[in-house]
């Protein structure tokens, strides 16, 4: 609702001014350091932005998508939409252009996803950096983040107990150099065998000459060992998150 | 008696095994030359008397031209290993430049990645590569084939990247990462060299239950910075790994992270542990043995992430095991590397106004901090009184050689909400010239204990390449204009110079194959910091990028 009101207001001169002011704020936080574009677009490690004769389409494209092969990030995915429009308006103002009502069009995209509170809490837990390698994201890529050690999660367990007890049918036992270890086999070629060594998190992708390793089905590895850092309540929240994002 | 003799012999043998190699000889086995990080070679075929005849013998173009070439080549048994900015690895015949193998890492091409790679580690028959997207990879040194690969972190989440060279220590490989100017909690991670399995991880920001955690306000430790973005050193006799840690985050604004002295009984000298510190870790367990915080509360992005140079020198009539360490503040610190005891600090920059000086026990006086309501001129600025390019130490002259940068910045603090993995500077700055002058560099020779400057080589622009010292009493480095040159290690007089066709931002090394000494230097400008500082000069636009290794030797006798 609030966003909609903003969109309607964007055409008004007062709002244009507000937008540029907001953009100046976003700019200082995200673009102005000495490593990057400098205060008021004066230039630094990255090019000057003031009085360059840029047009709004160019600014919009560059700010949203970044420039591949350079330090210029794509802000389209990291800035809130209003902030994005604001910083575009601000850089426009450094080039003598007033915000165009068409900026509003850019702001209309699919609405930002909002997760229900429990799922949002689960999301934070899934990736929680303070757990080090004892977090789900060490082995699972979900919702665009995390390491894809396993195939994409397709079946979401019903609750914490089921999550701890996820069967590890694909985990085999590899023996190499006289040592046996739990392994997720990636490929078994004539010359090479590639496995994820699950002995300790993070899993290690190891490549063996085929002759030097044997693979046996089944292992003593338990998914419960990978979920230990979480309480049941935390795992329930994670289940809510997975339900919200896994198709 | 026999048993006694055996023990003595055994001890001697053990001592020989753990004696610290300091100078390099035929090989250039690790990032800093040896684990003492001297960047000094005992080779003296090329020396002050004949360096004028030095000529190029081969060149290797990596083909990876986007971001220059910042790396340190590694040379083992006549094979030179080189990594380019986008994590492509090359094994070359060190005498001829012939390509033996190459490994192309498929680095994701995403906008906003200023990819760099400053070097490899080689050991246990493997080449260790840290990638910009946070993988550690071991390659077979003979074939370049992947042996193992492990995700250290997820760049999409942490905003961090591995750009520094890993350190191979005994049976492990240790690696740090960038990320400390974002909302990120720094760490060092060690992997088993054979299997890639995790050996240990040390967080540079003390977490709940850890000593030092009380120096963080609230939850600020979660995004406290302390990135380990350069490469450490190792003392085998003490079994200690030394590493410098980066600034606390948010960089310029400390209001949300500084647990006041009164609240927690924190002694000055211990704020936001263990950021902006030198840490000494047990090489086997990764446990902290000692730390010395150089910049308590760091609100200037001064970091303390640079090289730890391990030297033994006389201090007040006693031989001491020392660690010499410079950070961006422009001060060089001298510590006892057994205990971490502070021995002294001296400025190497001429322009320093953030403190009026340092006391006998290492406290900085009259500190100037950035404030929220207006910009404050602070020298040096966040680009640092020295950048990451490494210094060198020569035992023959007893000098450390340091590339120094004279620059300042207008700093302004600004409270900021952290968002994981995103920029978290807590303010902003604009690079400026020092009062009454322009940004410039000098390369100096110092006595590392007294801080007395023996000579200085002034330079108009910025010196952003590492230094190499040799027993031929030469100091080599390159400049952004493309000149690679040699100075007399005793006087600083320029003895030789060669136009390589591209600016210098990497680290040169020396080695020998079949009795012939070679000097190799990466060329290829391409540097954000360099660009920011060179805004003063329109002609700097002409400094060439590229990515070529140039190798020099004396002409062979006919």
CATH number of the domain at A6, please. 1.10.760.10
Distances from the Cα of B471 to the Cαs of B39, B393, B507, in angstroms? Answer: 11, 11, 18
Residue A55 lies in a domain: yes
Residue B509, min C-alpha distance to chain A (Å): 28
| A131, pLDDT greater than 90 | yes
A189 contacts chain B (CB < 8 A): no
Domain presence at residue B101: yes
Q: Which residues of B touch A200 (CB under 8 A)?
A: 197-198
Give the residue from B65, B188, B69 showing the smallest Cα distance to B466. Answer: B69
Does the residue A70 lie in any domain? yes
pLDDT at B527 over 80: no
- Inter-chain touch A42–B414, beta carbons under 8 Å: no
Residue range B442-477, pLDDT digits in tens: 999 999 999 999 999 999 999 999 999 999 999 999
**A47 within domain boundaries:** yes
Q: Quick check: A129 and B222 CB within 8 A?
A: yes
CA-nearest residue to B426 within chain A is: A29
| Count of the separate structural domains present in chain B | 1
Which pLDDT score, from 0 to 100, does residue A11 have? 44
- Is B506:B72 a contact under the CB 8 Å cutoff? yes
Q: Which residues of B touch A39 (CB under 8 A)?
A: 428, 430
Q: What is the pLDDT of residues B210-251, one digit of tens each?
A: 999 989 999 999 999 999 999 999 999 999 999 999 999 999
DSSP-assigned states of every residue in chain A: -HHHHHHHHTTSHHHHHHHHHHHHHHHHHHT-STTTT-GGG--SSS---TTS---HHHHHHHHHH--TTSS---GGGTS-HHHHHHHHHHHHHHTT-PPPTTHHHHH-SSPPP---HHHHHHHHHHH-GGGTT-SGGGT--BTTBS--SSSPP-SPPSSHHHHHT---TTEEEEEETTEEEEEEEEEE-SSEEEEEE-SSSSPEEEEEEGGGEEEES--S--GGGGSTTS-HHHHHHHHHHHHHH--
The C-alpha of B498 sits at a distance from chain A's nearest C-alpha, in angstroms, of 28
Which pLDDT score, from 0 to 100, does residue A229 have? 97
B261 is catalytic: no
- Helix, strand, or coil here: B40? strand
Q: E strands along B350-390, which residues?
A: 357-358, 364-365, 376-378
Options B153, B298, B301, B479, the catalytic residue? B301
If one counts every other C-beta atom within 10 angstroms of the C-beta of residue B494, the result is: 12
On whether any CB of chain B is under 8 Å from the CB of A68, the answer is: yes
Residue A130 to residue B207, Cβ atoms within 8 A: yes
On the question of pLDDT at B147 being above 80, the answer is yes
Least confident of A19-28, B37-46, B54-63: A19-28
Say how far apart CA A76 and CA A90 lie, in whole Å: 16
Query: How far is B50 from B41, CA to CA, in rounded Å?
Result: 17
Tokens of B314: 């006389």
pLDDT over 50 at B14, yes or no: no
CATH number at residue B86: 2.140.10.10
Residue A1 confidence (pLDDT) = 36
Is residue B8's pLDDT more than 80? no
- Per the domain annotation, does A155 fall within a domain? no
How much is the pLDDT for A66? 83
Nearest CB among A32, A38, A204 relative to B196 is that of A204
CA distance B531 to A44: 7
Nearest-CA residue of chain A relative to B137?
A205
More confident residue, A8 or B350: B350
Q: Do A66 and B531 touch (CB under 8 A)?
A: no
* Mean pLDDT of chain A, nearest integer: 87
Whether B144 is in a domain gets the answer yes
Q: Which residue reads 């896994």 in tokens? A: A246
Which residue on chain A is closest to B415 by alpha carbon?
A29
Q: Does a structural domain hold residue B270?
A: yes
Q: Specify the pLDDT at position A74.
A: 83
Q: Considering only CB atoms, which chain B residues are within 8 Å of A207?
A: 145-148
CB A243 within 8 A of CB A236: no
Asked if the Cβ–Cβ distance from B148 to A204 is below 8 Å, we say yes
Q: Which tokens go with B32?
A: 């800093």
Instruction: Provide the 3-class DSSP secondary structure of residue B59.
Output: strand
Whether A69 is in a domain gets the answer yes
Give the residue among B2, B90, B86, B11 at the shortest CA–CA distance from B520.
B90
Number of H helices, E strands in chain B: 4, 38
Residue A118 lies in a domain: no
Chain A positions touching B185 (Cβ under 8 A) are 129-130
Confidence label for B17 from pLDDT (cuts 50, 70 and 90):
very low
DSSP H or E stretch at residue B125: none
Query: How far is residue B292's CA from residue B296's CA, in Å, rounded to a whole number?
Result: 10
Of residues A33, A73, A127, nearest to B425 (C-beta): A33
Least confident of B252-261, B312-321, B324-333, B423-432: B252-261
Residues of chain A contacting residue B198, judged by C-beta atoms under 8 Å apart: 133, 200-202
Residue at B447 is within a domain: yes
Cβ contacts of A205 on chain B, cutoff 8 Å: 146, 148-150, 196
Smallest CA–CA distance from A34 into chain B, residue: B430
B74's CB contacts (< 8 A; 6+ apart) are B28, B29, B30, B31, B80, B81, B119, B120, B121, B122, B127, B509
Strand order in the sheet with B277-282: B233-235, B240-244, B277-282, B288-293
Question: Other CB atoms closer than 10 Å to residue B372's CB: what's the count?
Answer: 13
For the segment A64-115, what is each residue's pLDDT rounded down to a tens digit?
A: 888 877 778 888 877 888 888 889 999 988 988 887 766 655 555 555 678 9
Chain B CB within 8 Å of residue A146 CB: yes
Nearest residue of B to residue A179, measured between CA atoms = B195
Q: Give the number of other CB atoms < 10 A from CB of residue B508.
A: 27
For residues A115-150, one letter each, b for 16 or more C-beta atoms within 10 angstroms of the residue's C-beta and e for the rest, the string is beebbebbbebbbbbeebbbbbbbbbbbbebbbebe
Residue B117 pLDDT exceeds 60: yes
The nearest alpha carbon in chain B to A207 belongs to B147
Q: Say what the pLDDT of residue A7 is.
A: 41
Residue B2 resides in a domain:
no
Q: In what order do the strands lie in the sheet with B440-446?
A: B392-394, B399-406, B440-446, B453-459
Report the pLDDT value the prediction gives residue A101, as an integer from 0 to 100. 64
Whether the Cβ atoms of residue A34 and residue B409 lie closer than 8 Å to each other: yes
Structure confidence by residue, pLDDT tens digits, A148-170: 999 999 999 999 999 999 999 99
What distance in Å separates the CA atoms of residue B30 and residue B539, rounded to the nearest whole number?
36
Greatest CA separation found in chain A? 76
Walk across the sheet containing A171-176 and list its strands. A213-216, A171-176, A179-188, A192-197, A204-209, B146-151, B135-140, B126-130, B121-123
DSSP label at residue B389? S
A137: tokens are 């994201």
Spatial neighbors of A46 by CB under 8 A, at least 6 apart, are A35, A36, A37, A71, A72, B528, B531
What residues form DSSP beta bridges with B313?
Answer: B320
Is A201's Cβ below 8 Å from some Cβ in B? yes
Tell me the shortest Cα–Cα distance from B331 to chain A, in angstroms.
Answer: 22
Range of the domain at B180: 8-106+114-553
Question: A2-9 and A81-94 helices cross at what angle (nearest 10)?
Answer: 20
pLDDT in tens, A218-242: 999 999 999 999 999 999 999 999 9
For range B377-388, the mean pLDDT: 95
DSSP B51: G
Distance from CA of B234 to the nearest CA of A (A): 25
A203, part of any domain: no
Asked if residues B426 and B469 have their Cβ atoms less than 8 Å apart, the reply is: no
* pLDDT at residue B70, rounded to an integer: 96
A212 touches chain B (CB under 8 A): no
User: CA angle at residue B415 from B414 to B416, to 5 degrees?
Assistant: 110
B10 min Cα distance to partner chain A (Å): 31
Quick check: is B558 in a domain? no
Write b or e for each residue in A16-32: b if 16 or more Cβ atoms lie within 10 A of its Cβ, otherwise e.
bebbbebbbebbbbbbb
Q: Which of A42, A133, A205 sits opposite B149 (nearest CB)?
A: A205
Choose among B146, B151, B430: nearest Cβ to A39.
B430
Q: From chain B, pick out residues whose CB is under 8 angstroms from the CB of A199.
A: 195, 197
Q: Is B315 left (phi over 0), alpha (psi -120 to 50) or beta?
A: beta
- B150 → closest Cβ in A35, A127, A204: A204
What is the DSSP annotation of B6-20? Answer: HHHHHHHHHHHHH--
Domain housing A19: 2-112
Q: How many CB atoms lie within 10 A of CB B157?
A: 18
pLDDT of residue B260: 67
A99, with CB counted inside 10 A (0-12, 13-18, 19+), is buried
β-strands B308-315, B318-326 pairing: antiparallel
A182 touches chain B (CB under 8 A): no
Residue with tokens 């591209």: B502
- Is the confidence at residue A130, as pLDDT, over 90? yes
SS (H, E, C) B410-466: EEEECCCCCCECCECCCEEEEEECCCCCCCEEEEEEECCCCCCEEEEEEECCCCCCC
Going by the DSSP 8-state scheme, the letter that residue B158 receives in this structure is H
Residue B3 lies in a domain: no
Confidence band for A8, pLDDT divided at 50, 70 and 90? very low
- Put simply, the answer to whether A33 touches B198 (Cβ < 8 Å) is no
The overall longest dimension of chain B from CA atoms, in Å, is 77
For B339-364, what is each residue's pLDDT tens digit?
999 999 999 999 999 999 999 989 99
A84 belongs to a structural domain: yes
Which residues in chain B have Cβ-Cβ distances shorter than 8 Å to A191? Answer: none
Closest CA to A91 of A101, A99, A79, A80: A99
High-pLDDT (> 70) share of chain B, %: 93
| Distance between A38 CA and the closest CA of chain B, angstroms | 6
Using CB atoms, which residue from A32, A33, A199 is nearest to B197?
A199
Q: What's chain A's Rg over C-alpha atoms? A: 25
Please state the domain count of chain A. 1
Q: Are strands B40-41 and B468-470 parallel, antiparallel or unpaired?
A: parallel
Q: For residue B154, is it within any domain? A: yes
CA of B332 vs chain A CAs: smallest distance (Å): 24
CB contact at 8 A, B73 and B28: yes
- In this prediction the pTM is 0.91
pLDDT grade, residue A6 (50/70/90)? very low
**Residue B276 corresponds to which tokens in the numbers above?**
């902006």
- Gap between the Cα atoms of B152 and A127, Å rounded: 14
Residue B423: which of A30, A145, A207 has the nearest Cβ? A30
CB atoms within 10 A of CB B94: 26
């Amino acid at each position: 609702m609030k966003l909609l009101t903003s969109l309607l207001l964007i055409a008004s001169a007062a709002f244009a001014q507000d937008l540029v002011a907001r953009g100046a704020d976003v700019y200082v936080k995200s673009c102005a350091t000495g490593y990057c574009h400098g205060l008021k677009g004066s230039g630094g490690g990255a090019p000057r932005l003031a009085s360059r004769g840029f047009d709004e389409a160019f600014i919009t494209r560059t700010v949203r998508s970044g420039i591949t092969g350079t330090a210029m990030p794509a802000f389209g995915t990291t800035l809130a939409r209003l902030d994005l429009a604001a910083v575009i308006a601000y850089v426009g103002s450094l080039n003598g252009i007033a915000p165009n009502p068409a900026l509003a069009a850019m702001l209309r995209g699919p609405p930002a996803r909002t997760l229900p509170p429990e799922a949002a809490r689960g999301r934070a837990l899934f990736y929680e950096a303070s757990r080090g390698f004892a977090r789900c994201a060490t082995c699972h890529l979900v919702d665009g983040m995390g390491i894809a050690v396993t195939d994409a999660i397709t079946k979401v367990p019903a609750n914490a107990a089921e999550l701890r007890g996820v069967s590890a049918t694909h985990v085999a036992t590899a023996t190499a150099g006289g040592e046996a270890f739990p392994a997720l086999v990636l490929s078994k070629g004539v010359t090479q065998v590639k496995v994820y060594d699950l002995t300790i998190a993070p899993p290690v992708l190891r490549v063996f000459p085929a002759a030097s390793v044997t693979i046996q089905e089944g292992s003593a590895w338990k998914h419960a060992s990978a979920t230990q850092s979480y309480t049941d309540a935390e795992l329930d929240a994670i289940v809510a998150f997975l339900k919200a994002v896994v198709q | 008696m026999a048993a006694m003799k055996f023990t003595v012999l055994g001890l001697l043998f053990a001592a020989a095994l753990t004696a610290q190699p300091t100078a390099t000889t035929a090989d250039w086995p690790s990032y800093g030359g040896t684990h003492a990080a001297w960047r000094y070679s005992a080779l003296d075929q090329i020396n002050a008397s004949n360096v004028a005849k030095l000529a190029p013998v081969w060149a290797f173009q990596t083909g990876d031209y986007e971001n220059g070439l910042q790396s340190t080549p590694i040379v083992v048994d006549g094979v030179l290993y080189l990594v380019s900015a986008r994590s492509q690895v090359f094994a070359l015949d060190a005498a001829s430049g012939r390509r033996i193998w190459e490994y192309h890492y498929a680095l994701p091409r995403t906008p906003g990645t200023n990819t760099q790679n400053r070097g490899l580690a080689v050991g246990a028959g493997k080449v260790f590569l840290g990638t910009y997207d946070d993988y550690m990879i071991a390659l077979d040194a003979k074939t370049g084939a992947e042996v193992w690969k492990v995700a250290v972190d997820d760049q999409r989440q942490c905003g961090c990247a591995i750009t520094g060279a890993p350190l191979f220590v005994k049976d492990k490989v240790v690696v740090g990462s960038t990320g400390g100017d974002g909302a990120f909690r720094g760490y060092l991670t060690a992997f088993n060299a054979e299997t890639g399995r995790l050996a240990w991880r040390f967080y540079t920001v003390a977490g709940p239950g850890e000593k030092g955690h009380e120096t963080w306000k609230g939850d600020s430790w979660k995004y406290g910075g302390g990135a380990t973005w350069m490469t450490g050193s190792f003392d085998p006799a003490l079994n200690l790994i030394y590493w410098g840690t980066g600034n606390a985050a948010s960089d310029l604004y400390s209001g949300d992270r500084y647990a006041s002295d009164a609240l927690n009984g924190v002694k000055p000298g211990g704020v936001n542990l263990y950021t902006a510190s030198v840490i000494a870790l047990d090489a086997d367990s990764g446990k902290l043995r000692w730390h010395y915080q150089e910049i308590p509360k760091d609100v200037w992005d001064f970091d303390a992430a640079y090289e730890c140079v391990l030297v033994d020198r006389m201090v007040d009539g006693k031989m001491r095991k020392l660690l010499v360490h410079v950070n961006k503040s422009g001060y060089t610190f001298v510590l006892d590397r057994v205990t971490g005891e502070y021995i002294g600090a001296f400025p190497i920059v001429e322009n320093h106004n953030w403190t009026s000086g340092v006391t006998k026990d290492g406290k900085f006086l009259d500190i100037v901090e950035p404030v929220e309501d207006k910009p404050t001129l602070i020298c040096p600025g966040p680009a640092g009184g020295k950048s990451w390019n490494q210094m060198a130490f020569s035992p023959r002259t007893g000098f450390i050689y340091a590339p120094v940068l004279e620059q300042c910045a207008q700093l302004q603090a600004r409270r900021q909400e952290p968002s994981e993995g995103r920029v978290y500077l807590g303010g902003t700055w604009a690079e400026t010239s020092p009062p009454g002058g322009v940004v410039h560099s000098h390369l100096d020779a110092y006595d590392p204990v007294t801080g007395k400057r023996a000579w200085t080589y002034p330079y108009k622009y910025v010196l952003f390449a590492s230094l190499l010292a040799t027993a031929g009493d030469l100091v080599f480095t390159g400049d952004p204009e493309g000149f690679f040159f040699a100075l007399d290690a005793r006087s600083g007089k320029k003895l030789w110079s060669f136009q390589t066709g591209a600016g210098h931002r990497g680290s040169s090394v020396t080695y020998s194959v079949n009795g012939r000494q070679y000097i190799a230097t990466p060329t290829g400008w391409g540097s954000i910091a360099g660009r920011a500082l060179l805004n003063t000069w329109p002609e700097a636009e002409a400094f060439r990028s590229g990515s070529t290794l140039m190798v020099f030797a004396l002409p062979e006798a006919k």
